[in-house]
Amino acid sequence: MSLSAEHQRILLDIAWRSIQSGLQTNTPLNVEADSLPAPLTAPGASFVTLEQGSDLRGCIGSLEAYRSLASDVAHNAFSAAFKDPRFPPLQAAELSNLTLQISVLSAPVEVTFSGEQDLLQQLVPQQDGLILQEGQRRATFLPQVWEQLPTPEQFITHLKLKAGLPADYWSDRIRVQRYRVEKFS
């Protein structure tokens, strides 16, 4: 999906208004879909990342499209600000130093591999977002995480840790899906 500059601006406005709604009413913005352009009312999956300076302040998203993209952005912006379990709820005083980035995800595609080394060789740093799943354990990294974990080995090791698996764990039951993002702020 390639969003126009105007569609990106609308989604950023929705995200900021949803955070304001959270501060005022403790609920996400209710998106009026009938007033939006078609690409924003189609099902879409997004992540909203909040930062204070260069520090993460919240990041919540959807891996699969199950509601309109505009509604997904509104709910994820609210959740990143007020529901990310790693951080206390956002306070109004934090808004002046807050930056927001939206990542719109492509549909995940299953990666076929014969083992960990095969998987590592197939990864495209800076472009691939991954979902790793083993049984009930599941974790994802957006492509932006390559900035902190630049090698495929580091990326997969930390993704396994995020899923609650040991760093050196491997099993033939591990499933991996790949996705790409269109990000803007």
Q: 141-161: buried (b, 16+ CB within 10 Å) or exposed (e) per residue?
A: bbbbbbeebeebeebbbbbbe
Per-10-residue mean pLDDT of the chain, 185 residues long, equals 93 98 97 91 97 95 96 98 97 96 97 97 98 97 96 98 97 97 97
What is 5-105's CATH number, 3.20.20.70, 1.10.10.60, 3.30.700.20, 1.10.150.20? 3.30.700.20
pTM for this structure?
0.94
Q: Where in the chain is the domain with CATH 3.30.1490.150?
A: 109-184
CB 37 within 8 A of CB 138: no
Measure the CA–CA gap between 185 and 179, rounded to whole angstroms: 20
Q: Are 123 and 152 in contact (CB under 8 A)?
A: yes
- Contact criterion met (CB below 8 Å) for 140 and 131: yes
pLDDT of residue 1: 64
Which segments of the chain belong to CATH 3.30.700.20? 5-105
Closest C-alpha among 146, 70, 135 to residue 102: 70
Please tell me the predicted confidence (pLDDT) of residue 113: 97
CATH number of 109-184: 3.30.1490.150
Nearest Cα to 61, choosing from 119, 122, 129? 129
Which residues lie across from 46 on neighbouring strands?
A: 104
The vertex-183 CA angle with 177 and 184, nearest 5°, equals 165
Contact at 8 Å (CB) between 137 and 165? yes
